Amino acid sequence: MLNIVIFGAPGSGKGTQSARIVEKYGLNHISTGDVLRAEIKNGTELGKTANEYISNGQLIPDALMIDILASVFDSFKDSKGVIFDGFPRTIAQAEALKKMLKERGQEVSIMLDLEVPEDELMVRLIKRGQETGRADDNEETIKKRLVVYHSQTAPLIDWYKNDGKYCHINGLGTMDGIFADICKAVDAI
């Protein structure tokens, strides 16, 4: 299996590039943000809990996220591989992902870190908020999400470097140019 972690700050283009990777490599896609937004839309108990964290720019507790991830992963049958989009976001989640995959005879093949400067992230997210109405894409919540990214999620860069899976991708440029860099990295695995 080809298991890809697509990583980066909010607004770095993970969702956009994931869709292209899924199409080209025939992978299953897990976007934990999309899973949570669907729960909110359906008004489930999980959705109500998730909404309190998301609207405040905070992360959902690890134990809950790890259970959700395993159940989505196990729902895929005869998968060629999975792209993990928005997971892991903490060291505990990265460790849990490694353990979960190992128990299933799998591992992360590569971690793609889409790097985009902070001022550009702000511009992209505010634009997305205006275009899509996504509730957490407002200036106040974006700022909180970026603080959370730096304190809880960015340490995963060193974690994946130590694990030998890290690959830097310049996330500034055209969508096609960035996708070409991603394909080069994936094809070299």
DSSP 8-state code for residue 29: E
**Per-position x/- string for 69-88, each x denoting binding to ligand AMP as judged by CB under 6 A, each - no binding:** -----------------xx-
The residue (of 65 and 121) whose beta carbon lies closer to ligand AMP is 65
- Give the torsion through C-alpha atoms of 167, 170, 173, 178, to 10 deg: 0
The residue (of 36 and 82) whose beta carbon lies closer to ligand AMP is 36
54 counts as binding ligand AMP under rule CB under 6 A:
yes
Q: Out of 3, 32, 51, 82, which residue is the one contacting ligand AMP (CB under 6 A)?
A: 32
The residue (of 33 and 171) whose beta carbon lies closer to ligand AMP is 33
Indicate if 37 belongs to the active site: no
Indicate if 128 belongs to the active site: yes
The CA distance from 134 to 74, in Å, is 29
Q: Out of 89, 113, 179, 182, which residue is the one contacting ligand AMP (CB under 6 A)?
A: 89
Are 165 and 109 in contact by the 8 Å Cβ rule? The answer is yes
The CA distance from 86 to 147, in Å, is 16
The secondary structure of the chain in percent helix, strand, coil, rounded to multiples of 5, reads 60, 10, 30
Q: How far is the CB of 78 from ligand AMP (least distance, A)?
A: 25
The residue (of 28 and 32) whose beta carbon lies closer to ligand AMP is 32
114 counts as binding ligand AMP under rule CB under 6 A:
no
Q: How far is the CB of 170 from ligand AMP (least distance, A)?
A: 20
Kindly write down the DSSP assignment for every residue of 53-97, as one continuous string: HHTTTPPPPHHHHHHHHHHHHHH--S-S-EEEES---SHHHHHHH
Q: Out of 5, 36, 111, 178, which residue is the one contacting ligand AMP (CB under 6 A)?
A: 36
The two three-digit tokens of residue 125, written as one number: 């997210």
Indicate if 89 belongs to the active site: yes
Which active-site residues does the annotation give? 14, 89, 128, 134, 145
